[in-house]
């Protein structure tokens, strides 16, 4: 392989080879049991590391209980000569989200399906405003997310059991919002991890974007009522919701946001489900506030991960500067 | 990539300034919440259960045909599992081959975001995804369109919603696609079941269309959902933005709403970010939506759009073959 001429059509591996990341074993405690005990206002613990893939400009790895994904950032690099847009005043961002074939219960093909493409464009929307693209003319930045494991719709989740007959009063709510919650958690993870990877790549941004997701539930009894009066029931807001709804609750809506905490701006918003408008848009507002709170919580983790690179650069600069002790210009 | 626009940077800047004035001046002198006129027809395709044709200025023309097929509940992994989300299939096709020509196939609906994967295999999958999402979410509080598709034990309707865009070079607004789908769904009728509900034999139907059953009962709520694009420039919020306005806008949303009573009040069933050009503003000003603006944008949709959806529904029912 190495003796041959380099293959120009693919992203070649570095000639010096790469080293696989080694994680310290922490598998003593089972992660699944923790989810049940989590209060609704608390998000799951996030593991986020940057710089694990040596061959790309920036990378990160994120783990939120069952969800595992890795992000690579390639570029900024020149636009290909064959591109349909040979000139761009601002960097062209492309995002790609792909589930590994083994990442969910049902096998996914190698070609991206419509939900993966949709996640990709959601991620694009979340990041594109935050990157200072005007600083990178005539270049492109690629963000590639690979989802290695996900909490997906599962066996009894996206399905109904026919033996029980079509007692549709029990089955009525089974499918509402399940896929949205599952994809929402994935998308929020993608946004957070992609921001960390962009920071790791040293690409200038206005602010880091952190992902947050929240769901609103009502008592099942209330939602089965007339439908119009469901606003009277007590609402339960859950940040970073699990795919299975809490016992006795019916889901109303899920909100995923990409949030720039330092600017207090939402770069990406995705609400799915039903929100009443009896009191104007307060129902939506409350849900968005919950998602913002979840995004703020994950921002803390993101900040720590972004610091890694700064520490690395500072450490390197100090080493080269030696005893001179020059101030280091920090960017990003 | 933002939708392609023929405007130059100075033109965008001019547009941006005039739209950020108070009161704003839109290029076609519409009020900020005024919609453009549309031509809408329904129930004209003889081979479909429901159909519609929508013609909009600038955004072009599209035809939707809805066909329903009787299908046995399929099982996927185990013998007991039914995937109900596959009961509805939406496809958005661009007439004339799609992938050639500026703006065709890429970013159809404005929110499919051709940025993902350089738009190469994007096609129009994005538009189909959000159209279906609104349709399924439209019944979250105890009513689902999927329940309407159950025929009898073990059998269901499979609904094919095929959207054909007849103007490949234009950049269709989400409003065009969702209005067309809304109207087609509203005019969809299913043949009446003559066999009993609780038997899992092959169902039989009456061939008399005069007693066919509407998919969305005209007298009941919710009505089919509809997605409205809304953009903001400065503190001004604009409904039904034109292509040039989208190119100059700072932020955009697509708000999917459904009519919940005859007075014209609506529920929100979905909100999505819409890709906008950010063409006219200065760099570094606004990079996202703050919550105050978000509230303002969604409120504008909810308060203004009820009447539009109601009007569209009335137009549909007037044209219906059984009216």
Phi, psi angles (nearest 5°) of residue B316? -60, -50
Q: Is B121 on the interface with A (CB under 8 A)?
A: yes
- How does DSSP assign B29-43, residue by residue? ---TTPPPPEEEEES
Contact flag B129-A172 (C-beta cutoff 8 Å): no
What pLDDT score does B52 carry? 92
Query: pLDDT higher for B246 or B282?
Result: B246
Window from A132-141, A173-182, B52-61, B287-296 with minimum mean pLDDT: A173-182
Contact flag B139-A128 (C-beta cutoff 8 Å): no
Find the CB nearest B269 among A223, A273, A292: A273
- Given a contact cutoff of 8 angstroms between Cβ atoms, the answer to whether A151 and A182 are in contact is yes
Q: Is B298 on the interface with A (CB under 8 A)?
A: yes
Window from A16-25, A136-145, B96-105 with minimum mean pLDDT: B96-105
CB pairs < 8 Å spanning A and B: 212
- Given a contact cutoff of 8 angstroms between Cβ atoms, the answer to whether A175 and A159 are in contact is no
What pLDDT score does B116 carry? 32
Q: What SS3 class is residue B229?
A: strand
Q: What SS3 class is residue A28?
A: coil
| % of chain A residues with pLDDT over 70 | 77
Residue A129 has pLDDT above 50, yes or no: yes
Q: Is B171 on the interface with A (CB under 8 A)?
A: no
**What are the chain A neighbours of B82 within 8 Å (beta carbons)?**
159-160, 162
Q: Which residues contact A84 (CB under 8 A, 6 or more apart)?
A: none
- Given a contact cutoff of 8 angstroms between Cβ atoms, the answer to whether B1 and B119 are in contact is yes
Contact flag B116-A273 (C-beta cutoff 8 Å): no
Q: What SS3 class is residue B25?
A: coil
The region that residue B6 occupies, defined by phi over 0 for left and psi between -120 and 50 for alpha, beta otherwise, is alpha
- Given a contact cutoff of 8 angstroms between Cβ atoms, the answer to whether B49 and B68 are in contact is yes
- For all residues of chain B together, what is the average pLDDT? 77
Q: Position of tokens 């992000």?
A: A71
CATH fold of B9-319: Ribosomal Protein S5; domain 2 (3.30.230)
Categorize the per-residue pLDDT at A189 as very low, low, confident or very high, splitting at 50, 70 and 90: very high
**What are the chain B neighbours of A179 within 8 Å (beta carbons)?**
85
Cα–Cα distance measured from residue B290 to residue A272, given in angstroms and rounded to the nearest whole number: 19
Q: Is B89 on the interface with A (CB under 8 A)?
A: no
Find the CB nearest B142 among A92, A172, A266: A172
CA distance A24 to chain B (A): 34
Interface test with B, best of A273, A282, A288, A290 (most B CBs within 10 A): A273
Interface test with A, best of B84, B89, B117 (most A CBs within 10 A): B117
- Given a contact cutoff of 8 angstroms between Cβ atoms, the answer to whether B255 and B228 are in contact is yes
Query: pLDDT higher for B24 or A34?
Result: B24
Contact flag B126-A118 (C-beta cutoff 8 Å): yes
**What are the chain B neighbours of A153 within 8 Å (beta carbons)?**
none
Q: What is the DSSP letter of A213?
A: E
Cα–Cα distance measured from residue A250 to residue A221, given in angstroms and rounded to the nearest whole number: 9
Tokens of A97: 């989200």
Cα–Cα distance measured from residue B105 to residue A231, given in angstroms and rounded to the nearest whole number: 41
Going from N- to C-terminal start, the domains of chain B cover: 9-319
Categorize the per-residue pLDDT at A327 as very low, low, confident or very high, splitting at 50, 70 and 90: low
Residue A6 has pLDDT above 90, yes or no: no
Residue B74 has pLDDT above 70, yes or no: no
**What are the chain A neighbours of B265 within 8 Å (beta carbons)?**
277
Pairing of strands A139-149, A92-99: parallel
Find the CB nearest B84 among A128, A175, A277: A175
Query: pLDDT higher for B63 or B83?
Result: B63
Contact flag B142-A123 (C-beta cutoff 8 Å): no
**What are the chain A neighbours of B116 within 8 Å (beta carbons)?**
94-97, 117, 120-121, 123-124
CA distance A281 to chain B (A): 6
The β-bridge partners of B232 are B237, B251
Instruction: Please give the helix or strand (H or E) that residue A68 lies within, else none.
Output: strand A67-78
Q: What SS3 class is residue B225?
A: coil
Q: What SS3 class is residue B317?
A: helix
Q: What integer is the mean pLDDT of B199-217?
A: 83
What pLDDT score does B12 carry? 86
Contact flag A271-B272 (C-beta cutoff 8 Å): yes
Tokens of A67: 């969800």
What pLDDT score does A234 carry? 79
What burial class does residue B154 get, using C-beta atoms within 10 Å of its C-beta: 0-12 exposed, 13-18 middle, 19+ buried?
middle
Give Rg (Cα) of chain B: 21
CA distance B248 to chain A (A): 14
Q: Is B99 on the interface with A (CB under 8 A)?
A: no
Contact flag A114-B125 (C-beta cutoff 8 Å): yes
Contact flag A161-B80 (C-beta cutoff 8 Å): yes
Contact flag B139-A265 (C-beta cutoff 8 Å): no
Q: Which residue of B has its CA nearest to A115?
A: B129
Find the CB nearest B115 among A128, A207, A283: A128
Sign of CA dihedral A269, A274, A280, A283: negative
Model confidence pLDDT, tens digit, residues B252-267: 898 988 888 777 778 8
Interface test with B, best of A277, A280, A291 (most B CBs within 10 A): A277
Q: Is B145 on the interface with A (CB under 8 A)?
A: no
Q: What is the DSSP letter of A34?
A: H
Tokens of A126: 């979340």
Residue A306 has pLDDT above 70, yes or no: yes
CATH fold of A38-153+174-298: Ribosomal Protein S5; domain 2 (3.30.230)
Q: What integer is the mean pLDDT of A235-257?
A: 83
Q: What integer is the mean pLDDT of A258-275?
A: 89
Going from N- to C-terminal start, the domains of chain A cover: 38-153+174-298
Q: What integer is the mean pLDDT of A122-149?
A: 90
Q: What integer is the mean pLDDT of A38-66?
A: 88
Contact flag A228-B261 (C-beta cutoff 8 Å): yes
Pairing of strands B88-94, B155-165: parallel
Q: Is B225 on the interface with A (CB under 8 A)?
A: no
What burial class does residue B303 get, using C-beta atoms within 10 Å of its C-beta: 0-12 exposed, 13-18 middle, 19+ buried?
middle
**What are the chain A neighbours of B267 within 8 Å (beta carbons)?**
274-277
């Amino acid at each position: 392989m190495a003796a041959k001429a380099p293959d120009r059509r693919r992203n070649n591996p570095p000639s010096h080879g790469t080293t696989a990341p080694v994680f310290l074993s922490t598998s003593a405690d089972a992660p699944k049991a923790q989810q049940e005990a989590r209060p609704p206002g608390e998000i799951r613990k996030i593991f986020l590391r940057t710089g694990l893939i040596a061959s790309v400009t920036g990378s990160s790895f994120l783990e939120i209980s069952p969800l595992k994904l890795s992000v690579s950032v390639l570029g900024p690099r020149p636009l290909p000569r064959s591109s349909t847009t040979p000139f761009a005043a601002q960097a062209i961002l492309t995002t790609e989200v792909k589930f590994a074939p083994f990442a969910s219960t049902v096998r996914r093909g190698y070609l991206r399906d419509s939900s993966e493409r949709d996640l990709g464009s959601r991620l694009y929307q979340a990041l594109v405003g935050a990157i200072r693209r005007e600083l990178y003319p005539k270049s492109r930045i690629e963000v590639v997310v690979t989802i290695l494991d996900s909490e997906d719709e599962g066996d009894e989740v996206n399905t109904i059991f026919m033996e029980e007959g079509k007692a549709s009063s029990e089955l009525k709510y089974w499918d509402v919002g399940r896929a949205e919650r599952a994809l929402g958690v994935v998308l929020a993870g993608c946004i957070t991890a992609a921001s960390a990877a962009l920071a790791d790549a040293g690409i200038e941004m206005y602010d880091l974007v952190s992902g947050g997701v929240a769901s609103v539930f009502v008592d099942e009894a209330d939602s089965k009522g007339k439908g119009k009066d469901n606003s009277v029931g007590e609402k339960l807001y859950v940040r970073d919701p699990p795919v299975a709804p809490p016992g006795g609750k019916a889901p109303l809506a899920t909100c995923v946001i990409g949030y720039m905490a330092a600017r207090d701006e939402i770069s990406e918003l995705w609400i799915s489900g039903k929100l009443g408008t009896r009191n104007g848009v307060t129902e939506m507002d409350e849900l968005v506030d919950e998602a913002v709170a979840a995004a703020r919580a994950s921002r803390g983790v993101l900040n720590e991960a972004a610091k890694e690179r700064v520490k690395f650069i500072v450490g390197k600069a100090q080493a080269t500067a030696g005893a001179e002790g020059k101030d280091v210009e920090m960017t990003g | 990539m933002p939708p392609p626009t023929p405007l130059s940077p100075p033109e965008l800047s001019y547009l941006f300034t005039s739209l950020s004035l108070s009161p704003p001046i839109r290029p076609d002198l519409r009020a900020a919440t005024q919609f453009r006129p549309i031509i809408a027809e329904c129930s004209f395709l003889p081979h479909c259960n429901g159909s519609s044709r929508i013609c909009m200025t600038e955004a072009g023309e599209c035809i939707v045909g809805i066909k329903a097929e009787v299908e046995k509940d399929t099982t996927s992994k185990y013998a007991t599992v039914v995937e109900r989300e596959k009961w509805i299939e939406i496809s958005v096709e661009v007439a004339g081959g799609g992938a050639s020509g500026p703006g065709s196939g890429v970013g159809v609906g404005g929110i499919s975001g051709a940025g993902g994967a350089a738009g190469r295999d994007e096609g129009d999958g994005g538009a189909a995804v959000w159209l279906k999402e609104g349709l399924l979410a439209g019944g979250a509080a105890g009513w689902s369109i999927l329940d309407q598709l159950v025929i009898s034990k073990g059998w269901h309707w499979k609904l094919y919603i095929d959207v054909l865009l007849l103007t490949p070079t234009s950049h269709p607004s989400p409003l065009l696609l969702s209005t067309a789908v809304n109207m087609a769904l509203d005019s969809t009728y299913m043949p009446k079941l003559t066999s009993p509900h609780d038997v899992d034999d092959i169902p039989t139907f009456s061939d008399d269309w005069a007693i066919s059953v509407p998919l969305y009962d005209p007298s009941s709520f919710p009505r089919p959902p509809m997605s409205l694009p809304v953009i903001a420039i400065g503190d001004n919020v604009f409904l039904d933005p034109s292509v040039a306005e989208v190119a100059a806008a700072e932020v955009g949303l697509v708000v999917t709403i459904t009519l919940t009573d005859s007075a014209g009040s609506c529920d929100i069933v979905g909100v999505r970010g819409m890709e906008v050009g950010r063409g006219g503003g200065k760099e570094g000003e606004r990079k996202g939506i703050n919550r105050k603006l978000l509230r303002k944008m969604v409120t504008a949709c909810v308060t203004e759009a009820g009447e539009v959806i109601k009007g569209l529904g009335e137009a549909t029912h007037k044209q219906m073959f059984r009216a």
